[in-house]
Structure 1
Amino acid sequence: MHTFEIYEEYYDWEQLKGNSDAEVHLLSYGGEDPPNMYQPQEPLIAKSYVNDIRKTRREYKRLLWMDINNINGVPKPVTLYEEAGAYMFYLALPGIDAQAFLKQQDEKTTAETLKQIGRYLSFFHKQKIEECPFDHRNGQLDDDPVFSHGDFTLSNVIVNENYITGSVDMVGIGIRDRYYDIVSMALDIEEKLGEGYVESFYEGYRIKDQVEKDKFEQFEKLIAKK
């Protein structure tokens, strides 16, 4: 049986809502026969940038690169299907996105979760960049390069029972200044939750009272042009 037909035959598909420009489905195994190593029984994500096959392929290649380089807290790729369109499949991270999770929480839990998000980003930024082939640096503005997520917002962080399991939407990973991700998240927290919660994120990243205002404003302008 063809690979994609196996996914259609043995998995239940549930389309997920989100801010991504991709079509995303959660796949739950429900078949009678055990799938092989390329069709695991764990919940899967099927994702396709419907109008941009190359973007689907790019994100899958980045997942493969992170898997080969043992980067934790990111989706583990399973396979890429290409024919009339393109779907990438990866193991679903347990939990829900932080934006949805925080809608249900009190102030204390919200603050603690944002601290954890800051710690997760700090860990993510510590990955080695020497061998990273995805370089997005933009001249002198990127004077503190790290391994960057590229779209670090609440909807792209996965939370499971008050702890961070990882992040998704990895098509933009690569080398950038750390402030690109810091500013992206800070702006999203301010918009979705309120300015008062940004300090909790900074505390988790360990830059509370140390944010470089001029640099923040430069990256704010850069992100606004996206």
Structure 2
Amino acid sequence: MAIQVMEARPDIRDAVVDAIAAFLRRLHAIPVAECPFDSDRAYRLIQARKRIDTGRVDVDDFDDEREGWTVEQVWKTMLDLPPFEPDPVVTHGDFTLDNLLIREGEVTGCIDTGRLGVADRYQDLAILWNGLGHFGPLLQARFLQQYGIAEMNWDKLRFHLMLDEFF
């Protein structure tokens, strides 16, 4: 998995990040009309609310920025973010370093595709960007540059990071 390679081989982190960015660009280039699964904002919000209402959200697993927050605090803060125009692509849905298979510095596959579907590209960008943060801001910046993001939409990023807290 990519996380294991990143931890064990600091000397190839740049190459791995470049390979991940190239893989994600290819995934996001799949025509949305060819994907039968919908995972857009409305769908994900409904699923998140169901998880909240049935007590299936693990508050102990919240990111450091939301440590000590209640589920309802995250929900309200997320919904209070400014609205944004969606940029629909075919997304993995849980694009973490744990879900990417790496061999010899190349992405050879991905696992845990249960949330795959058409959604805003920041669904994947936010989750990966967050994971790369464990290795420092230089790798995060490299990923964005290699993927082709000239300027991060911080509100979209925050929205998708908070949305991910519910899953």
Same structural fold, with TM-score higher than 0.5 when normalized by the shorter chain: yes
Segments of 5+ residues of structure 2 without an aligned counterpart are 43-82
Task: Spell out, residue by residue over 1:84-133, the C-alpha distance to the aligned partner (whole angstroms, 9 max, x if none).
Answer: xxxxxxxxxxxxx10111112134x1022112101110110011111422
Displacement after TM superposition at 1:169 (Å): 1.2
2:158, 2:7 → 1: CA distance? 28
- The residue number in structure 1 matching 2:90 is 147
Q: Secondary structure at the match of 2:8?
A: coil
2:137, 2:165 → 1: CA distance? 18
- The residue number in structure 2 matching 1:94 is none
1:190, 1:150 → 2: CA distance? 18
2:112, 2:123 → 1: CA distance? 16
Larger Rg: 1
Q: How does 1:66-215 map to 2 (within 5 A)?
A: 97-107=1-11, 109-139=12-42, 143-191=86-134, 193-207=135-149, 209-215=150-156
Question: Could you tell me the TM-score, scaled by structure 1's length?
Answer: 0.52
> Is 1:148–1:175's contact at 8 Å kept on the other side of the alignment?
yes
Higher normalized helix content (fraction of residues)? 2
Higher normalized strand content (fraction of residues)? 1
- The residue number in structure 1 matching 2:166 is 225
Q: Could you tell me which amino acid in structure 1 is paired with residue 143 of structure 2?
A: F
Tell me the number of residue pairs that the alignment of Structure 1 and Structure 2 aligns: 127
RMSD: 1.7
Q: Secondary structure at the match of 2:21?
A: helix
Runs of 4+ more than 4 Å apart: 139-142
Q: Could you tell me which amino acid in structure 1 is paired with residue 8 of structure 2?
A: Q
1:164, 1:132 → 2: CA distance? 21
Question: Could you tell me the TM-score, scaled by structure 2's length?
Answer: 0.70
Q: Could you tell me which amino acid in structure 2 is paired with residue 225 of structure 1?
A: F
2:30, 2:114 → 1: CA distance? 17
- The residue number in structure 2 matching 1:24 is none
Segments of 5+ residues of structure 1 without an aligned counterpart are 1-96
